[in-house]
Amino acid sequence: MEAILACALEYTLKYWLKSFSRDQFKLQGRTVQLSNLEINGDALHASMGLPPALNVTKAKVGKFEIILPYVSYVQVEPIVIQIDKLDLVLEENSDLDGSSSPNSSQLSGDSSKSSGYGFADKVR
């Protein structure tokens, strides 16, 4: 069963992490611990619903811990992921020119309701 969980974790973590291999983690009981990992910026951008005006230039995790449920409860208990430190660097996308956008005046006019990017509304 441990090999099946390790294979499933590897498949999932390859999507989220840059240059990840199964050699980087060892399943100790129900816990997997990883450290100093670079996160795939495109995957993070898509999952957080960031606007196209922002790019994730750097995303790094200090300590990443996955706590798996007991095998008999794997379908009813959650998989717990704990992140100790997340360094995230976002930049404005220079390819998009906000001044020529027809919605740019609407965004600045509605600044009392939401941020210009709309990300703060999703985080709240």
Task: Render pLDDT for 62-120 as a digit per residue (tens, 0 to 9).
Answer: 998 989 888 788 789 998 999 999 899 999 987 765 544 444 444 444 444 444 555 55
Conformational region of residue 20, where left means phi above 0, alpha means psi within -120 to 50, and beta covers everything else: beta
C-alpha span between 54 and 45 (Å, rounded):
8
SS3 of residue 13 by DSSP: helix
CA angle (123, 8, 83) in 5-degree steps: 35
DSSP letter at 55? E
Q: What distances in angstroms separate CA 61 from CA 44, 65, 83, 90, one per listed residue? A: 12, 10, 7, 15
DSSP letter at 23? G
Q: What is the pTM of this model?
A: 0.60
Tell me the pLDDT band of 27, cut-offs 50, 70 and 90.
confident
- The domain spans of the chain are 2-93, 96-124
Tell me the pLDDT band of 18, cut-offs 50, 70 and 90.
confident
Tokens coding 69: 């449920």
Q: Taking residues 50-65, report their average pLDDT.
A: 90
User: Would you state the pLDDT for residue 38?
Assistant: 92
